[in-house]
A and B are shown apart, each in its own frame.
Chain A
């Protein structure tokens, strides 16, 4: 083996050793950093630092391989350690074996064995460091295992040195056991910001670590924390109001969990039959009662309740009873039906029978919840009130007569139209105008019915609505009818919808009123063919009015207008109650929430966890009266915990919108009043 070949071999060895050293030191640095980060429970950005440091070490050391690529420098490196070579090795390595003397001189010293041993020895330190770091990394989980095991004895012996390094609030687990009556499954969740569960649910919160190092408070009440299965745990029962479970470790760390109760809703009971209140002349036969029942969890039982009240003025007596009680066995939906024999109740004139359905749910924790339907009343009319209360099931008399009259006019007009080709113009006009006069009289009767019903004056030549009363557009007719209704005292009764019930029923009559005007004009001109379509429309409209739903109205109390000025011995008053503006809503809670949100916004940049906690505290209050806000607050808190910057901005916007309330929509610009 020539000197040059030996230098080449040594170069390979040197390169390999340098690379191994760099890798070993780098890996040792990484492992050491990971061990430190885990021991201190640093968040992941800090845990990435050791990897970075290891890479830097490896690259720095690895850079030393570069000079070793030169054969001359490797030979000089050997010459430095063996001066007796006197540059013969460099010469032989770079120029080959030019002279035997140089070759002999280069091989005279046994430098290759000595350098190879030295290089191998140089690997000892980095490999030892790597082994040590590896052992340390293996040793750390052992520490955790020991810490867990030692918590069993923690309450007896106090905190151990090993467990002091573990953050007991690093991770928590919540197990929710719903109340037995709900029949729902046990649920488990890790690291929740809030727990939504039925009121009365058992909630077990636990975590890894020593029970003595954790304190728990529910709102302001302290809760016990005990060791259980090698973990700390505390249990609470879901309260009926939103609450805040505060967990604190002795190291000062705090975690908040919002307890959001789901309240078992009362059963929803709908009375299907009878469909409306009724007044009867005599109560006989049977009455079918039917109700639909529904509950969010389960129904226990249901029944019908009836109250019979008899008497008048100061003397009233009552009887009550429960009918058709049925057990529903926890079903979510059900029905109830019974046939009530009215004869058995012995109802007398003036008696009122009130009926409703009631249902209990199966809630054994905060209930049972009671749901009841609307109440229907069946009243037996007194003989003396027949003039003021509509009792008979027959349709009103006036439209009945008008139907007959209109039908007769249609028949007469059709007959006249058939005879028309054989009649002289003068005769045709004369007969047609006679029918037109009858049509006008009938139209006036229809108008009287409509306007008298709605409290206005009857239509006549002296009508206060202005003369003559010709064809009106539907809008004009309705406007007049509305005006007539509003002239009475109870203005607020009309404020609920676009039209009064009376107006709705009378609409067909108003339509007939208009059609008759068209018919009358055509008949006046002898145009029988043009008169017939509006006459038939009028007939159809009157028939619709006959079939319209009948309504019964209470008598309106007499309106006494107090002469306020007279009572004060001064002047007069117009006697019209003005509409009042609603009071502004006193919303201190909204203002408080806005303040809390501003604080959370300020905290978000420097302490996201504190900002999330602030939102969770806000959520406890919002759960009671602002469920939409509570939902977005929870979402925002979770987003902050995740640390997603883009999602945080979006969640923040949603919270701000939910806090702002619903925008006020105005139908039109306010009336000009000269004031800005």
Chain B
């Protein structure tokens, strides 16, 4: 039995499977840098399923409008109360895009208002140190989306612990490649994922 299984959230609306290679890439990163007993494949977990509670970190992304069903909403609320961390990434990296608008609306209904996560947050120091906050992605200024470099991530904390982390930085595009291609990068751009996993497992 592995200590950590990377879980991708499946929801009824939108394209939840828009970054199919990301889980494998993150698993590879976890295996490279840590001794966490990580499962070699990720799993897809429906947001409305009780199976959601098996995973301390769940990743959610998409391009299209997000409308949670009432079952998904209730399950997600229970997931937050039990201490799970939902990492949501806007695959459009567009604050004017429909994913951002609809996803933040739905998340606000479940978690309450989102607030900027300060760049001094422990999330940025749990494993690797990111003194300037969330690492910039090469997709933020690629001419699509809002073409902005987002300085902070947003989130919701409960009892001093992040239960929701929301990103407009498009890590879904940045990390969506086969792990074998990591050898062509001079600097591994997936290190921040290690912090996410370690934070979810230890806080």
Give every chain A residue within 8 A of B92 (Cβ-Cβ).
314, 316
CB of B155 within 8 A of chain A? no
Q: Mark A475-519, 1 if CB is under 8 A from B, else 0.
A: 000000000000001111101100000000000000000000000
B172 to chain A, nearest CB (A): 12
Contacting residues of chain A (365-409) with chain B, CB-CB under 8 angstroms: 372, 374-375, 377
Which of these, B53, B64, B67, B83, contacts A356 with CB under 8 Å?
B67
Which of these, A315, A372, A585, contacts B82 with CB under 8 Å?
A585
Q: Mark B1-18, 1 if CB is under 8 A from A, else 0.
A: 110010000101100010
Which of these, B17, B41, B56, contacts A577 with CB under 8 Å?
B41
Which of these, A309, A563, A564, contacts B64 with CB under 8 Å?
A309
A240 to chain B, nearest CB (A): 13
A270 to chain B, nearest CB (A): 10
How many residues of chain B are within 8 Å of chain A by beta carbon? 49
Q: Mark B27-61, 1 if CB is under 8 A from A, else 0.
A: 11001100000111111111001110111100000
CB of B97 within 8 A of chain A? yes
Q: Mark A572-615, 1 if CB is under 8 A from B, else 0.
A: 01111111111101100000000000000000000000000000
Q: Are A577 and B40 in contact (CB under 8 A)?
A: yes
Q: Which of A356, A559, A580, A583 gathers the greatest number of chain B CB atoms within 10 Å?
A: A580
- Tell me the bound Cα distance from A139 to B49 in angstroms: 74
Which of these, A315, A356, A564, A579, contacts B38 with CB under 8 Å?
A564
Q: Are B1 and A580 in contact (CB under 8 A)?
A: yes
Q: Are B2 and A561 in contact (CB under 8 A)?
A: no
**Given the interface contacts A374-B67, A495-B51, A585-B82, does A562 sit within 8 Å of B24 by beta carbon?**
yes
**Given the interface contacts A316-B63, A375-B13, A560-B178, does A575 sit within 8 Å of B41 by beta carbon?**
yes
Q: Are B67 and A580 in contact (CB under 8 A)?
A: no
CB of B128 within 8 A of chain A? no
Contacting residues of chain B (88-108) with chain A, CB-CB under 8 angstroms: 92, 97-98, 102
CB of A464 within 8 A of chain B? no
- Tell me the bound Cα distance from A465 to B157 in angstroms: 51
Q: Which of B1, B5, B49, B98 gathers the greatest number of chain A CB atoms within 10 Å?
A: B98
B26 to chain A, nearest CB (A): 9
Q: Are B1 and A578 in contact (CB under 8 A)?
A: yes
Minimum CB distance partner of A555 in chain B: B17
CB of B145 within 8 A of chain A? yes
- Tell me the bound Cα distance from A605 to B23 in angstroms: 61
CB of A181 within 8 A of chain B? no
How many residues of chain A are within 8 Å of chain B by beta carbon? 46
Q: Are B46 and A492 in contact (CB under 8 A)?
A: yes
Q: Are B2 and A577 in contact (CB under 8 A)?
A: yes
Give every chain B residue within 8 A of A558 (Cβ-Cβ).
20-21
B18 to chain A, nearest CB (A): 9
Q: Are A578 and B98 in contact (CB under 8 A)?
A: no
CB of B118 within 8 A of chain A? no
Which of these, A356, A493, A563, A585, contacts B46 with CB under 8 Å?
A493
Q: Are A318 and B98 in contact (CB under 8 A)?
A: yes
**Given the interface contacts A375-B67, A496-B46, A578-B1, does A560 sit within 8 Å of B41 by beta carbon?**
yes
Q: Are A568 and B31 in contact (CB under 8 A)?
A: yes
CB of B69 within 8 A of chain A? yes
- Tell me the bound Cα distance from A576 to B39 in angstroms: 7
Q: Are A490 and B98 in contact (CB under 8 A)?
A: no
Minimum CB distance partner of B70 in chain A: A374
Count of chain A to chain B residue pairs whose CB atoms are closer than 8 Å in the complex: 129
Contacting residues of chain A (523-567) with chain B, CB-CB under 8 angstroms: 554-564, 567
Minimum CB distance partner of A574 in chain B: B40
- Tell me the bound Cα distance from A561 to B63 in angstroms: 25
Q: Are A560 and B44 in contact (CB under 8 A)?
A: no
- Tell me the bound Cα distance from A576 to B2 in angstroms: 10
CB of A354 within 8 A of chain B? yes
Give every chain B residue within 8 A of A491 (Cβ-Cβ).
43
Q: Are A580 and B5 in contact (CB under 8 A)?
A: yes
**Given the interface contacts A309-B64, A583-B82, does A577 sit within 8 Å of B39 by beta carbon?**
yes
B47 to chain A, nearest CB (A): 11
Q: Are B40 and A564 in contact (CB under 8 A)?
A: yes
Q: Are B179 and A492 in contact (CB under 8 A)?
A: no
Q: Are A354 and B67 in contact (CB under 8 A)?
A: yes
CB of B65 within 8 A of chain A? yes
Give every chain B residue within 8 A of A315 (Cβ-Cβ).
144
Q: Are A582 and B179 in contact (CB under 8 A)?
A: no
CB of A352 within 8 A of chain B? yes
Give every chain B residue within 8 A of A555 (Cβ-Cβ).
17
Give every chain A residue within 8 A of B39 (Cβ-Cβ).
576-578
Minimum CB distance partner of B39 in chain A: A577
Q: Are B51 and A492 in contact (CB under 8 A)?
A: yes
CB of A449 within 8 A of chain B? no
Give every chain B residue within 8 A of A564 (Cβ-Cβ).
27-28, 31, 38, 40
Which of these, B21, B49, B63, B84, contacts A495 with CB under 8 Å?
B49
Give every chain A residue within 8 A of B55 (Cβ-Cβ).
580
Which of these, B23, B65, B97, B144, contacts A354 with CB under 8 Å?
B65
CB of A307 within 8 A of chain B? yes
Give every chain B residue within 8 A of A573 (Cβ-Cβ).
40
Q: Are B145 and A314 in contact (CB under 8 A)?
A: yes
- Tell me the bound Cα distance from A385 to B142 in angstroms: 28
Minimum CB distance partner of B99 in chain A: A316
A339 to chain B, nearest CB (A): 22
- Tell me the bound Cα distance from A561 to B84 in angstroms: 25
B136 to chain A, nearest CB (A): 18
Give every chain B residue within 8 A of A490 (Cβ-Cβ).
43-44
Minimum CB distance partner of A311 in chain B: B63
Minimum CB distance partner of A582 in chain B: B53
B86 to chain A, nearest CB (A): 14
B90 to chain A, nearest CB (A): 12
Give every chain B residue within 8 A of A493 (Cβ-Cβ).
10, 44, 46
Sorted from nearest, which 4 A-B pairs have the closest CB atoms? A557-B20, A560-B24, A375-B67, A567-B31
Q: A318-B98, A374-B70, A578-B2 are in contact. List 8 more A-B contacts (CB 8 A).
A: A354-B65, A558-B20, A567-B179, A575-B41, A577-B5, A577-B39, A578-B5, A583-B56
17 contacts between A and B (CB under 8 A): A314-B142, A314-B144, A375-B12, A489-B44, A491-B43, A493-B46, A562-B24, A562-B41, A562-B179, A568-B32, A573-B40, A575-B41, A578-B2, A578-B5, A580-B1, A583-B82, A586-B82
Q: Give B contacts to A, CB under 8 Å.
A: 1-2, 5, 10, 12-13, 17, 20-21, 23-24, 27-28, 31-32, 38-46, 49-51, 53-56, 63-65, 67, 69-70, 82-84, 92, 97-98, 102, 142, 144-145, 178-179
